[in-house]
Structure 1
Amino acid sequence: MMSDPVQHIPPEIINFFRENVGEILLVKGPPGSGKTMFSLECMKSLCREKRGITIFPRMDADQLNSEYSWLMDDRADHNLLPFHGNTKMADPNWFKREFEYLNSKGEGKIGFMLFDPINAITEQYENPERKMKEIVSLVQSSNVSAIVVQEKEDTTYLDHLAGGVVRLYFNEREGRRFRALRFEKLRGVEVKNSNYLFTLHSGFFRAFHPWSVDTVRKGDWVPIEDSETHFSTGLEDLDRILGGGFKRGSYNILDVDDNILSSEYLLLLRPVLLNFLHHDQGVIMITPAGEHPESIRNDLGTYIDIERISDKLYFLDYFTATSRKEYIIPMSSTTRREGAQQKGMEVIQRLRGRENKPYLDFVGLDTLEYLIGESLTLRRLLTGVSQSKVTKTLGIGLAKPGLKIGQGIRNMSDVYIRMVKIHSIPCFFGVKPETSLYAILPSERDGFPNLELVPLT
């Protein structure tokens, strides 16, 4: 289920045309950056009550029907009238005559126009700049706003005529390409975000708005069944990306960038924790630095009955000598000598039971490295990797910036996921297996904490 298409373009665009009737938005960018898809998505969103004209002088009917069949379909739910290249466009009076005819038909006033690209129209005339100014004058005098796509990336007279200039561009993050747009000028509009990450996945433009857990629509947690060979990640999209989820008996690393907050790395950890607990499979955790067992337990209890997980979720707390909570196992240097390690093993045996059920062993690697040092942490992880493979359970480690054991854990992991933030949007990509970039978003269908992972194509 797709959301309101207005939500797929930056709100600054809507505000720009709302505040400036008869204004021009200039769209620039290199070939293939998505200028046409962006412009069409804007036109769909803007032309709810008024009609819009889209002019593609370099495309014929077959091309338009092939690339944008929805636009050529008379039954489609939009108010856009497509025009494609024809010999009539060379007539200096064609545009004005056609515009006046459409406005007089009584089917609703023309409110918006799209020229893609504008230079394909103006270059047919002896004085392209003069023709461009004539078109702008007609648009503005008729209280019609226009989106103008320009193929040239350098500054032209159009940059000065237009009240808004948007540039689409390519960029890379650790060898993975993504698309973004930047507002270079938006007259009379407060620009809250000057850059937006976007995708052209599934053949449509979709910009990603900064979001937070506190402001999104909530829904019920939707569990996913494990398979005979894999544990589900708790996310349908991530299961598909990884070829079924996390393999039984595997050790997996989530490596987070230095600008990733705990609330953001929990986006990918929370689903697998919830899925294990939902299926009555235990979880034992060494929390990352800065996290407290109670905060994680309370967070999970928001989405699953806390009583149901009371005997399934345990924490090994290396900073605590005593605890009245049965689910917190004190592991400080003092208590280790008094048999805390043995108690930890007893908890694992309890979680496995007579059926030898699998469990999830989660480790905040920064905590472990701080407490026992680089070499002992690697030794502890190698033991954990071996145990996971023998017992067919699941190991997950969280790696934060500054870890000295970074290369070592990459080599020993079965899956290595890297989490980054681009223009305020949490994203990730696979190092093992190698994948492209994905944006992490709340599920439009099921609501948070369910997520959708959108390819940045």
Structure 2
Amino acid sequence: MIPGEVKEFFSSQFGKSLLVKGKPGTGKTTFVFGILDEICSEGNCVYISPRIDKSSGYGKYPWIEGDFNNNEDFLRMLATRIKEIWESSETKPTIVVDSIDSLSIATTRSADWEENKFELERLLFDFSRKVNADLIMITEQTEVNSLDYLVDGVVFLDIVDISDRDIRKIDLLKIRGVELSQSRYPFTLDGGVFTSFEPFKVSYPQQTQIPQPLPDPIESKISTGMPDFDKILDGGYQKGSFNLFEITSGVGDSFYSLLLPTFINHLNMGRGLLSMPTEGTSVETEKRMISSFTGDDRFHGQFMGFEIRDVNGRIPGYIEPFSGNVYKDMDIFHKSKNEMLRQYGSPLLDYIGLDSMEYNYGWENIGSIIGQMASITKTTENVVLAVTKHGQRITESVAHMATTHWKFENVDKTLVMYGVVPRTGVFAVHMEFVSGYPQVSLIPMK
């Protein structure tokens, strides 16, 4: 999937010219074939690449083959092919040059290829205008030159670092005639296909369904409710584990999308769930997000939420009020947990918003409590999912206790996650509701 702005750019009835720039290995050729998959369905393209063997995986599009002794010979061959396209189709042709640098070398066969390159660019640009063809030129020359000003569009592909992990980005430097909703997109070449990522968003369906729960893949683990995450974890969350999710600045509450399928699956497996929500999220909000996919009866029976409340007000049965005194509240929590264990047994799931705990009780008062919770959990079959937010003082000390440690970041409006422990690559988080319930995919950003 290429960015929508690039699709719109080539939807014009008039030929457009696009310069694709980037260092070797950044994905330029794969990106261009992503474009051709969108606009060349009728075989109306011509692919020219002196540096790539036609027998490679790129050979499904029509090529120009031959011995290019000079620019004129090459243009005559190109003109013949473009004439054939116009005679057999009403769709404007697309010319791809991969790369303009290697084509210049092929047409000069001398050390003067850089001087010839300027002339070849001008000839190609003028030719594509006259025959009303789209022109896509790839170059590994990353500096700005006269061609950048001549063409209608310029995109730049790059590989950047995020916590010592590579991530690919495409910059839409110039897309003439198209309004940019955003100018930079992360993308992946996973599976040999260019896939850019749209901004992360969650849109709940009007008609919801209760999904069939995913069974635990192996006896020693519980399913996350997401096949992709189960695979990354070699079967799911380890029973007796303390799992830390660190949320960086700019992520907001979108991280909850990775936890929601776990909550739903756990309840639909007939198990108990206890929740101390993060700051900015109430137990009632959690009920609205979860109960549509479990049913109210199951939610009310197997879920218990905790938050500081005025005991004189009306309190739903699925909320246990906290007082604001950390020791009294932890006593309330453990009593409720023991009752939940008595009713539903292990494994029990605890969801702990460490940001709300630090805010309500002070970080100096919760360190030993969280340490004790992590230690006790590891002697049971229960599972803890703990969330820390950007800037929390408790994060570093909790990280040392965690069985697994995951980090969420916002990369150009795309929600991504990666494992600190275990160390993993970066994954883009995608959520959809096509079946009436949340389904999360974790797409490797390769």
56, 59, 62: which is aligned to 1:72?
59
> Are residue 288 (structure 1) and residue 278 (structure 2) matched?
yes
155, 168, 178: which is aligned to 1:179?
168
Deviation at 1:336, TM superposition (A): 7.7
The normalised TM-score by structure 2 is 0.90
Deviation at 1:359, TM superposition (A): 0.8
Q: Which amino acid aligns with 1:281?
A: R
Report the equivalent of 1:15.
Answer: 8
> Are residue 121 (structure 1) and residue 103 (structure 2) matched?
yes
Deviation at 1:201, TM superposition (A): 0.7
Deviation at 1:142, TM superposition (A): 0.5
**Aligned to 1:189, what secondary structure does the other structure show?**
coil
**Aligned to 1:307, what secondary structure does the other structure show?**
helix
**Aligned to 1:19, what secondary structure does the other structure show?**
coil
Deviation at 1:381, TM superposition (A): 1.1
Report the equivalent of 2:260.
Answer: 270
Q: Which amino acid aligns with 1:306?
A: D
276, 282, 307: which is aligned to 1:317?
307
Name the CA distance, whole Å, in 2 between partners of 1:212 and 1:355.
34
Deviations 1:224-277 (A, max 9, x none): 211311111121111111222110000011110121111x01111111111111
Deviation at 1:207, TM superposition (A): 0.6
For 1:245-394, what aligned pairs fall within 5 Å after superposition?
245-262=236-253, 264-322=254-312, 323-333=314-324, 344-353=333-342, 356-394=345-383
Deviation at 1:189, TM superposition (A): 1.3
Name the CA distance, whole Å, in 2 between partners of 1:423 and 1:335.
39
Report the equivalent of 2:194.
Answer: 205
209, 225, 237: which is aligned to 1:234?
225
Deviation at 1:136, TM superposition (A): 1.6
Report the equivalent of 1:438.
Answer: 427
> Are residue 52 (structure 1) and residue 45 (structure 2) matched?
yes
Name the CA distance, whole Å, in 2 between partners of 1:304 and 1:442.
18
Deviations 1:91-120 (A, max 9, x none): 722333343245337432552111000122
Name the CA distance, whole Å, in 1 between partners of 2:371 and 2:64.
65
108, 120, 137: which is aligned to 2:89?
108
Name the CA distance, whole Å, in 2 between partners of 1:281 and 1:167.
50
Q: Are the equivalent residues in 2 in contact too, given 1:249–1:391 (CA < 8 A)?
A: yes
Q: Which amino acid aligns with 2:98?
A: D
Aligned residues: CA RMSD: 2.5
Q: Are the equivalent residues in 2 in contact too, given 1:51–1:111 (CA < 8 A)?
A: yes
122, 141, 144: which is aligned to 1:152?
141
User: Between the two proteins, what is the percent identity of the paired residues?
Assistant: 24
Q: Which amino acid aligns with 1:190?
A: E
Q: Are the equivalent residues in 1 in contact too, given 2:273–2:349 (CA < 8 A)?
A: yes
Deviations 1:404-453 (A, max 9, x none): 11111000000000100100000011011111111101259757610111
- Structure 2 gaps of 5+ residues are none
Indicate how the Cα distance of structure 1 residues 435 and 53 shifts in structure 2: closer, same or farther if over 3 A, else same: same
Q: Are the equivalent residues in 2 in contact too, given 1:218–1:448 (CA < 8 A)?
A: no
Deviation at 1:218, TM superposition (A): 8.4
Indicate how the Cα distance of structure 1 residues 313 and 89 shifts in structure 2: closer, same or farther if over 3 A, else same: farther
Deviation at 1:333, TM superposition (A): 4.3
**Aligned to 1:18, what secondary structure does the other structure show?**
coil
**Aligned to 2:250, what secondary structure does the other structure show?**
coil
Report the equivalent of 2:391.
Answer: 402
Report the equivalent of 2:77.
Answer: 97
Name the CA distance, whole Å, in 1 between partners of 2:326 and 2:424.
44
Name the CA distance, whole Å, in 2 between partners of 1:441 and 1:354.
35
Q: Which moved more, 1:34-43 or 1:9-18?
A: 9-18
Q: Which amino acid aligns with 1:81?
A: P
Indicate how the Cα distance of structure 1 residues 172 and 373 shifts in structure 2: closer, same or farther if over 3 A, else same: same
